[in-house]
Amino acid sequence: MTPRILTSSVVVGAAATALVALAGCATGDDTAAASDAGSAISAERCAENEAAGTITFLTGYQYQASASILEIVAADELGYFDALCLDVEIQPGTGDTGQNTQLVASDQVQFTSVSQQNLLQAHDTGIDLRGISSYSNVGLEILMTMPEVTDLAELDGTILGHKGGLPAAVEAMLDEAGADVDSMQQVVVGYDPSILPRGQVDSLTGFISNEPNLLTASGEDVTVWRPYDFGVPSSLGSLAVNPAFADEHPGVVEDFLRASFHAFEYCEANAEECVGYTAELSGEGYDVDHNVNIWTTETEIVRESQRDGANFGAIDEENVVAIVDLLNGFSLLENDISEDEALGLFETSYVDAIFADGELIWPAP
């Protein structure tokens, strides 16, 4: 399921019905119309959004074509932010989640991509953000092995490679599978996944839209183990905002999400065009084909894992509670967090406000 677009109009009767019937496709004409500043918003709301000044979005990792990065770059390039009178500046993140969360908490940056589990871990260190949306409960973090491994318990006593720390979701998956993590020799490795088929490690952590695609492209066959398949909670494509900024400008938060979700749909149908925007920002050396695969892989996961009856991008509070149980259960926080405290860090009303009967409202009311 992808977000369908519901046209908002003051007209009634047959005209309104016709407008709704025509909505739902992000066409070239839609894109052209969106380029006019304020074209999708009332004058009053336009003034409110402009009053917020320049707002900064910090990507999770460079200009990688991941969910919660690509569609936001595209919303800017396609004129969707302009159409809602939002002045958005996009900055590339380094992949350092701690740095991103600190920049948002200090209001140097207003929005960023950050997983729900990382938001909770940031809160544990005194860094507070507000979670505002999430595309999926299926996380990106995975473990890879060669095909001859058919049971994760077979990894006992072997070498496991990671990028500096074993992801909580992967550790929980291994535990659920009956593997003995303490018996494994954990080593810090670089970003070349070919060390797995070369036999330098017996298992390797990674991201489902990245390393498996790279290995497949090089002709290597590996097995991908997803924590989600073992009942381990996570998140994909989650966004967070500075709480004080959101309290002062709730309409801006709604319209930032509105433009981003509108662009998500457009980019599903126009992946190469949208990846072209991130390629231009990145400059030489950007692997367009690989990034198209990243986007396609992640959007397929988002579609396949949509909850029945839930608005696109809506936060699943049950999943937040499950992540809390995971973090507390594996002692991954300095101080255990209660369910109520955790849920207080996420706000569902922003997504609720931009949907009507399950359809994204575009233009804004």
pLDDT of 34 reads 56
pLDDT of 365 reads 77
Question: How many CA atoms within 13 Å lie on the side-chain side of 215?
Answer: 25
Hey, what domains does the chain have and what are their CATH numbers?
A: 5-138+236-361 (3.40.190.10), 141-230 (3.40.190.10)
Q: From residue 306, give the alpha-carbon distance in Å to each of 114, 137, 235, 251.
A: 19, 9, 12, 25
Question: Residue holding tokens 């809506």?
Answer: 314
pLDDT of 38 reads 81
pLDDT > 90 in the chain, percent? 85
pLDDT of 168 reads 87
Query: Residue 283 corresponds to which tokens in the numbers above?
Result: 């400059």
pLDDT of 46 reads 96
Cβ neighbour number for residue 106 with a 10 Å cutoff: 10
Low-confidence ranges of the chain (pLDDT < 70): 1-35
Task: State the chain's mean pLDDT as an integer.
Answer: 91
Structure confidence by residue, pLDDT tens digits, 184-198 = 999 999 989 999 999
State how beta strands 54-58 and 87-91 pair.
Answer: parallel
Instruction: Report angle CA 151, 155, 160 to the nearest 5 degrees.
Output: 130
